Every structure is written in C-alpha cells, then in structure tokens.
Structure 1
Amino acid sequence: MTHLADQIILLLAALLLISVFSTKFSTRFGMPALVLFIAAGMVLSHFIYFNNVALTQLAGIFALVVILFEGGMQTSMKDIRPVMKPALSLATLGVLVTTAVIGVFAKFILGVPWAESFLIGAIVGSTDAAAVFSVLGGKNIDKRLTSTLEAESGSNDPMAVFLTVSLIEWVQHPDTAVWSLVLSFFWEMGVGLLIGIGVGKLAVYLINRINLDSTGLYPVLAIGFAILTYGASAMIHSSGLLAVYVMGLVLGNSELMYHRTIMNFNHGFAWMMQIAMFILLGLLVFPQELAAVAWQGLLLSVILMVVARPAGVFLSLLFTRFSLREKTLISWAGLRGAIPIVLATYPLLAGLPHGRLFFNVVFFVVLTSAVIQGTTISPLALRLRLVGQEPQSQPSLMELVALGKTDSEFNHIGIEQHMPIAGRQIAEIGLPEDILFTAIIRNKSIVTPHGSTVIEPGDTVYVLSPKSKREEMRDIFRSGKGRAAETNISSV
C-alpha cells in the first residue's frame, strides 16, 4: 500500500511539473492552458480507469470557488463600474439567448426532447474568464472591452448554474411551475449578492484587526472566508458562486492588510486548482466516446461560435455604444472553459438517460472552442484594429517582480555577525551600480538605507538586483566561510 502511495505521489508531482511547464507553450501559441491540462488527463485515462463523477464534481466546484474568489479580488471596481450594465446584460440576457439558440439546434442535431436540448444550451451558456485573459494577457486591448469581458465572465456563471439546475428539475418533474423557477432565480441571485457583500465586509474587518502569528496565515484565512461564503449560500439554496465572486470583489477593492500576500497566494492556488480540475475532467473522458459524437459536437461548437454567442452579444448590447467591431470581438472572445464541463456532470449525477451523451458533447464543444477561438482571438483583435499602439498603464515594481515579468528580483538577507558587511556603512561596501539596498528591517522598524547607514547584525536587508547578478550579490554577504550565509538569502 505504501509503495502504491509513493507511486501516486510521484505521478502527481510529474503531472504538476508538466502542467506548469506546458503553460509556456500555451502562451506561445495563444491557446488556453486548460486545453493542455485536459489533454494530460485524457492521456492518463489510457492507463488509469477513473469514473467517479461525484468526486470530479466536488473537486470542480471547490476549484471554481477558488478561481472565482481570485478573479473577484483581481477585478477593479473602478474599471468595471462604467461597463456594469452591458456586462450584466451579457450575463443574463446573453446567456438566455445562447441557451435558446443552442437548444433549438441541439433538438435536431442530437434528437433529444426539448427540455433536454435546452439543458445542453444552459450548460454551455457561460464564458470562462481565465481562458479569455490567458490569451488576451499582454495585448493592449481597449480597457472597456477587457473590463466588460471580465465582469461578464465573473457574473454569468451563476446564471448558467441556475438554468442548468432548473432545467434538470424540469426534466425530472415536468409539472414544475414556471413561476416557482422565476421566484427561485430572484432568491438565488439576491441572497447570494447580499451574502457575498456581508461576508466580504466581515472578512475585511477581521483580517485588518486580527493579529496572527504568521503572515502566511492571512491568505489561508481569506480562502477560508471564501469557502464559508459558498457553503453558507449553498445551504440556503442561493447562488454560492455569485456570493464568492462578490466577496472577492469586496476584499480586492478594500484597504486590506497583507493584500499583496493574499493576492499572490490566491493566484498560485487558483492555478493549482485549475490544473487538478482539468486533469480530473480529462480522466473522466473516454476518447472513443468523444469520437462517436465528433460530428455533433463540432457542429454544435460551430453554431455556438458563429450563431448563438454572436446573437446573445448583439441582442444584449443592442442599445449600448459598442461599435460593430467591438461587438464582433466580444462575440469571438466568449471562450468556454471550466463551468460548462463541471455543469455537464450534473445530468450524469442526476441519472438522466442522456447524461453521458451530454457530457461528451459539452466536453467536445469546450475543447474545440478553446482551441479554435483561443488561437485566433489575438489575430482577430489586430485585424479589427482594437489593439492600441500606446502601452497600457505601467504595473507597479512589486507586481513586475512578483509576476516574474522583469530581469530583476528582490531578495531579503538576514545579517549575521560573521558577514563581511556587518558593522560597516553602506557607502564603504562598494555596491555595483545595478545592486541596490531598498530597505532595512531593524527591531520591527523600517530603516531607509543611505550611504551613512550602518548595517548591523540582526538586520534584514532587502536588495534589488538583476537575476544575472545573483551570485555577485550573494558574494557581498558571504563570509570567509564560503556559502554559510546563503541560508539567510531568499527571494521575495
């Protein structure tokens, strides 16, 4: 049993490393990373039999909680406030129109009853923010467009979940009253919104006032509040995903202690959850079953991309100031991702007769949408002349360093008695021009370094230096004992 556990751990490590390195290829080819994660799961399905739909759905929902929380924290209210109305129109009317159009075509393509055909439309009705911005990242697209897509992607998931659950109930209980579904919609969205705001404000209050022993516990506390938000909302049958996204918005747009620490943790954790979720979803797919629905899936995917999504966008934005070119890009940028595949597990668990068919078709639609649209969004934006010539607003120094988008890095070094710089003034050290002392922590206080500042044992010195000069920087702190001091040198 121990040997089996060791093998599983080794396999997980290999999958994690391969998935991380694969993101470099996805960025180069303009393809969402989810495609490569799913592909890894599908390859593994040849060697590992996995058919636990309930576990996959649980992992998917947990991953979505983390992803939506991280997305909410990264969303600036200042940016989305001007586009809130069109974004909400896309998230509601747009999803309804997409559901209706796909439902009509699915009825004749798949030969299923009307209620089940509209269920297919509801499942593929929402877009995926992570997929969209993984291919738009770094492009100087009009901020109004990217903010609209961001707000739409964060707020249309609850609508798709509501429609999916409601249509499954309608399939299982055809006598369900329509008015009860309408009341359920307002309850889910309204209460989910209130819980998100309430728990968000409570989290801000506690994070700013509680004194934890380690700064590493603050991101864990924030994630705990996000999970609490979803759980509390789900228990009273309101929209947990909407509540989590709103809670993230409240935290991300508030004065918050350790804001950067929480953001960095969330970003990495969200990536881990995406990798785990899509590999599990890939394991749940049997490639031979995909081949059996290839033409239906491809036809529905094309209809979604060139008919259903554009219809939803153009109707939703009918009375807005978006130009034809902007509406065209918004239509094409409606990539499908995590939510549709997770929602496709609902009919399976509900025991619907066509549950496996729905899952395979939706999986095919998401995969083709990500590959075809993902690789063509950037060229289309260029062709539509929606990519500006001027650079976007400059990110902060800490953002550049934290995201690894610069050749420089921050290091913090604990000063010990035996180090050659201990007890010396900074001016006497002879620092190279491109190595800079930025701050000194001494007795829980911050000291601004000047030429006359003396480096004392017990100090923690923060150093900004080029990555190529890492060894030269470390040589400054090394004692005659060789590399003994390196254990106190670590990157920020």
Structure 2
Amino acid sequence: MTFDVHQLDTFLLVGSGVTLLAILAVRFSAGLGLPSLLIYLLMGVALGEAGLGIEFQDASLAHALGFGALAIILAEGGLTTSWAAVRPAMRFGVALATLGVAISVGLMAVGAHYLLGLPWELAILLGAVCSPTDAAAVFSVLRVVPLPKRLTGVLEAESGLNDAPTVVLVTLVSSGAALDDGPLAVLGIISFELAVGVLSGYVFGAGGAWMMRRIALPSSGLYPLAVICLTFLAYGAAAYVHASGFAAVYVAALILGNSELPHRVATRSFAEGIAWLAQIGLFVMLGLLLSPNRITGETVFLAVTAGLMLTFVARPISVLVSSLLQGRPRLALRELTFISWAGLRGAVPIVLTTIPLAGGVESSEDLFDIVFVMVVIYTVLTGPTLPLVARVLRVARRSEPRGLDVEAAPLEKVAADLLQVAISPGSRMHGVEVGELRLPRGASVSLVIRDGEAVVPERRTVLRNGDELLVVTPRRQRDATEQRLRAVSSHGRLAQWAEG
C-alpha cells in the first residue's frame, strides 16, 4: 500500500479540522458536565461508515494505537498527580485496583452468564473489560466537582493503577491461557507482571529524576520531551520482559512528576497537551471502529442490563469490600457511596475489547458493541449527576486550599537555580513581607511580578496572592529554600514557630 502526497494533504486537512473541532468541544462538554469522550466518540461515528463513509475495521491497528494512547494518558496522570494528596489514599486505591477489580469481574461474569445467557468466556471478558475505571473520564468530570483530597486521592490512585491487572486478565482470557491454566496460575502471572512493572517504573522514574536534576539541556523545550521519553522507557523495558507496561509508565511518571525537576510546570503542561491529543485520537478512532448497523435491540438490552449490574451491584460491593483495607482516617459511608458512583468508564473498556477483537475471539464483535453502547449510556447518566450527588451526600467542598507552584531552571555557570514561585489564592504567604521569608543564606527574591509588571523588591515589600517571585538560590540550598517557601505558604509568618 502506497501513501502519496495527495493522501497526506487530505489527511492533514481532515485531521487538523477534526482535532480543532474536538478542542472546541471541550468547552461545550465541560459546561454540561459530560466527559468530552462522548463527543469524540460521536465524531468518530459521524466520520465512519454510517456518516462520511470512512471505513476503519483494522482491530489490530486499533489495539496497538489504543494501548499507545492509554500509555500517554497514564503518563500525564502520573506527572500531574500530587503524591502528597495520593499517599494517604494509596492503600485504598491499590485495594480498589486489585481486590476491587477481582470482585467486580467475578460478580459481572456470574451475572452475565446466568442472567444474560452469555458463554463463560464472553461473560468473563465482559466483566474484565468493564471493571476498570477510566482516568480521562473521571478527571474530566471531577474538574467541575470540588472534592476533599482524601476522595480525589482514592479516585486518582484507582484510575491510574487498575488498567494494569485488567489488561493482563483480558489478554490471558482472550488467548485461552486463563481457562487452560486455572485461576492460581492467572493470579501468579498477574502478580509477576504488576511487581516487575512497578519495579521498572521505580528504576526509570528515580534514575531519570536523578539524571534530570544534574544535566543542563540547551533548550527548555527539551526537558518535557526527556521526561516523556523516560516514562516510555519504563513502559518498553517492562513490556520487553512480559511485565505490565501500564504499571511501569504510571509509577515512573508519578515519581518524575513529584520530583523537583527543571521546568516542571512546563513539563506538566506539555504532558497535558499530548494527553488531550491522545484522547481525541483514541476516541475518534474507536468511534470509527463501530458499525452502527450491528446495533440491535438485543445489543441495547444487554448493554443496559450489564450496566445496571455494574453500577448497582458489582461496583458498590467492590468498593465496600475494598474499604475494609483502607487506612486511617476511614472514609464515611456517604464518601464510599460517592466513590462508587464516580467510577466512570470511558475509553479503557472499549480499548480492552480490541484485544479479543484482534485475537479473533468468537462473538468479540458483539462484545465490542455491547461495551460501546454501555459506556455511552451510563456516562451520559452518571457524569452530569456527579455534582448533584456530591451535594446530596455532603462530600463537595466550595474550595480546596492550593499549595505553592514552584518551577526551577538551572544556572550552571554559578551553580545556582532560579525558582519561579507562583503564590496561589489559598497561600498564607499573602501579606508576608519579603524580609519575613527568612530564606537560607545565599538565597534571595530577585524579582516580584505583579499585575504584569516586574518590581525589584525590598525587605518591606508585602507579597500578595497572584504574585510571581523569581528566587535565586545556591544549588546546595535549593531544597532548604523550597522547604522554607512552602512552610511560609502553609503557615504564614508563624511558619518557624509552627515547624518548631
């Protein structure tokens, strides 16, 4: 198959137009409280055989591109997740991503076999692909729902970690290995892949952070590229030894995103941009893969029934059982109820169905159609109701205090770092004088940017919310300088007394 210049021109024209429309659709979907994935999926259907007539039925290509897009989305999720917020909820999040997924798969498989009459292989696949939550779908809705950190931490940890075990399970079932080897062998394989994947992510994340802090690249734009490449090195290394690349990429990104790297804010912005591009391409591609003429009344019935079992039986029970393993402080029943309702499904279940579809599993097309319809219906039903459910359950907060945003750039010739500090609205640095910061010896505030104007500060200059500070610090004092700035941001003038 050849690809000439005319085809390239057409591809660029259509691709850029679709991408621009998808970007503009984000504002529309956010206003309605709907995950943007629904609009992207419908755009793909409109471009497909039922609309403009673009044919796309290559399940193997969809499988490969889908996994690549999910890796990018997980990398962005790890880079933008605060470890301080996730750490207290990590125990519960890991329980949901492992034990919770196992319970959900079991309940869904039994229900699909005995209530819907599906054969065991298809029933287990349905339970496996529907059990993980989708980070992109969850966070696109949670952006408009202010929640306490203990809830967002659980949802972030679960969404970032539950893809890995389900990918392994779906692959084993699709290949027939799960039914041949038995549940203990499957459990052993999943445990091995997760453990080695996490180890790979830790090695490349920690090693990459150590390297990035000690090199000076000639352009600031190279730092985001280097960080993204490090996360994919972790993915590739894990996949090469048949371990979980998804666990590796998320752990590596989580470590890198919480390390004090040069141009960290720019790196996060770059990762967010390519993650949006990956989401757009992924959802439009999955919409193209759907054949609307295959959707029948039976398909809709199976999708609705499976969604009811998942939403009102499997998900609540898995959350309740997993909560027995949570640490202190324990979440209240109303908070667990919200976590159950907020377990949105998005691209991940649909992407997982491409595994049996590419493997030629019997009735895999029916599985794809059922999951597609189920995701659309229940995202429409649950997504817009999250703000209301949060208010009814009294888990919403008007505002959550924000920390201090610090970006660093190396000054190699003088062995120093330039810190760009943004004073957030919730910071207690507001009203503090520059002299009261009491920075370590050699560190100083060289410039204050206020309302777009640069001001050279004096000791009596009073800082305000919204200010940006340029702080020069010797490299050996950088950690102490950042620690002091964060202490003042948290406690104000009483920082030294509070720390003591």
**Taking structure 1 as the reference length, what is the TM-score of the superposition?**
0.79
| Amino acid aligned to 1:67 | I
SS in 2 for 1:266: helix
Cα offsets for 1:89-130 (capped at 9, x unmatched): 111111111111111121145433213211110111100122
Aligned-partner Cα distance in 2 for 1:127–1:276: 19
2:416 match: none
SS in 1 for 2:262: coil
SS in 2 for 1:437: strand
Cα offsets for 1:305-338 (capped at 9, x unmatched): 1111111111111365222211110000000112
Matches within 5 A, 1:129-144: 129-144=135-150
Aligned-partner Cα distance in 2 for 1:392–1:175: 51
Q: CA offset at residue 397 of structure 1?
A: 7.2
SS in 2 for 1:24: helix
Aligned-partner Cα distance in 2 for 1:236–1:367: 36
Gap regions ≥5 residues in structure 1: 407-432, 439-447, 451-462, 465-492
Bigger CA drift: 174-183 or 42-51? Answer: 174-183
2:72 match: 66
Matched, 1:329 2:338: yes
Matches within 5 A, 1:133-172: 133-170=139-176
1:186 match: 191
2:227 match: 222
Cα offsets for 1:314-369 (capped at 9, x unmatched): 11113652222111100000001122111100011111111111111111122222
The partner residue of 1:355 within 334, 344, 364 is 364
Aligned-partner Cα distance in 2 for 1:132–1:269: 18
Bigger CA drift: 346-355 or 157-166? Answer: 157-166
Matches within 5 A, 1:92-491: 92-170=98-176, 174-292=179-297, 293-318=299-324, 320=326, 321-389=330-398, 391-394=399-402, 434-437=451-454, 448=456
| Amino acid aligned to 2:143 | G
1:429 match: none
Aligned-partner Cα distance in 1 for 2:133–2:237: 25
Cα offsets for 1:188-219 (capped at 9, x unmatched): 01111111000111211222223322211111
1:456 match: none
Cα offsets for 1:9-48 (capped at 9, x unmatched): 1111111111001011111111001111111101101220
Aligned-partner Cα distance in 2 for 1:86–1:3: 53
**Structure 1 177/8 Cα, relative in aligned 2: closer, same or farther at 3 Å?**
same
Q: CA offset at residue 249 of structure 1?
A: 1.0
Is the contact made by 1:109 and 1:296 (CA closer than 8 Å) also made in structure 2?
no
2:14 match: 11
Q: CA offset at residue 140 of structure 1?
A: 2.5
Is the contact made by 2:209 and 2:259 (CA closer than 8 Å) also made in structure 1?
yes
Cα offsets for 1:443-465 (capped at 9, x unmatched): xxxxx489xxxxxxxxxxxx99x
SS in 1 for 2:216: coil
Q: CA offset at residue 59 of structure 1?
A: 1.3
The partner residue of 2:44 within 41, 44, 57 is 41
**Structure 1 398/23 Cα, relative in aligned 2: closer, same or farther at 3 Å?**
farther
**Structure 1 2/160 Cα, relative in aligned 2: closer, same or farther at 3 Å?**
same
SS in 1 for 2:220: coil
Aligned-partner Cα distance in 2 for 1:52–1:79: 41
Q: CA offset at residue 402 of structure 1?
A: 13
Matched, 1:20 2:26: no
**Structure 1 219/113 Cα, relative in aligned 2: closer, same or farther at 3 Å?**
same
Is the contact made by 2:161 and 2:247 (CA closer than 8 Å) also made in structure 1?
yes
SS in 1 for 2:180: coil
**Structure 1 435/39 Cα, relative in aligned 2: closer, same or farther at 3 Å?**
same
**Structure 1 434/166 Cα, relative in aligned 2: closer, same or farther at 3 Å?**
closer
| Amino acid aligned to 2:268 | M
Q: Which has the larger radius of gyration?
A: 1
Cα offsets for 1:405-439 (capped at 9, x unmatched): 99xxxxxxxxxxxxxxxxxxxxxxxxxx954126x
| Amino acid aligned to 1:29 | L
Aligned-partner Cα distance in 2 for 1:23–1:435: 28
Aligned-partner Cα distance in 2 for 1:94–1:186: 15
**Structure 1 227/313 Cα, relative in aligned 2: closer, same or farther at 3 Å?**
same
| Amino acid aligned to 2:139 | F
| Amino acid aligned to 2:454 | F
1:441 match: none
Is the contact made by 1:142 and 1:386 (CA closer than 8 Å) also made in structure 2?
yes
Q: CA offset at residue 279 of structure 1?
A: 0.5
| Amino acid aligned to 1:214 | S
SS in 2 for 1:318: helix
Aligned-partner Cα distance in 1 for 2:41–2:121: 29
Bigger CA drift: 363-372 or 324-333? Answer: 363-372
Gap regions ≥5 residues in structure 2: 408-419, 426-449, 459-466, 469-500
SS in 2 for 1:31: coil
| Amino acid aligned to 1:314 | L
Q: CA offset at residue 233 of structure 1?
A: 0.6
**Structure 1 207/50 Cα, relative in aligned 2: closer, same or farther at 3 Å?**
same
SS in 2 for 1:115: helix
Q: CA offset at residue 237 of structure 1?
A: 0.9
Q: CA offset at residue 282 of structure 1?
A: 0.6
| Amino acid aligned to 2:194 | M
Is the contact made by 1:437 and 1:449 (CA closer than 8 Å) also made in structure 2?
no
| Amino acid aligned to 2:324 | L
Bigger CA drift: 1-10 or 254-263? Answer: 1-10
**Taking structure 2 as the reference length, what is the TM-score of the superposition?**
0.78
Is the contact made by 1:116 and 1:167 (CA closer than 8 Å) also made in structure 2?
no
Cα offsets for 1:44-66 (capped at 9, x unmatched): 01220111111111111111111
Aligned-partner Cα distance in 1 for 2:160–2:222: 26
SS in 2 for 1:213: coil
Aligned-partner Cα distance in 2 for 1:52–1:319: 42
Aligned-partner Cα distance in 2 for 1:223–1:83: 26
